[in-house]
Amino acid sequence: MISQLYEYYASGRFGGSAERYFDLLSMLGDQLDETMTLHLLTFRAEEIHPVSQSWVDDWDNLMSTFFSNESRTLVRFRALTLLASMYYSTRVVHGAQLVTRVIIPYLIGSATSAGVRTKLLEESQAEVAKYNTSMFT
Q: Per-domain residue ranges for the chain?
A: 49-135
The pLDDT-based confidence of 118 (bands split at 50, 70, 90) is low
Nearest partner of 102 among 56, 66, 41, judged by Cα: 56
Percent of the chain with pLDDT strictly greater than 70: 78
pTM of the predicted model as reported, rounded to 2 decimal places: 0.77
Give CA torsion, residues 14, 60, 97, 107, to 10 deg.
Answer: -120
Rounded Cα distance between 21 and 12, Å, is 11
Q: Is the pLDDT of residue 116 over 70?
A: no
98 touches 87 (CB < 8 A): yes
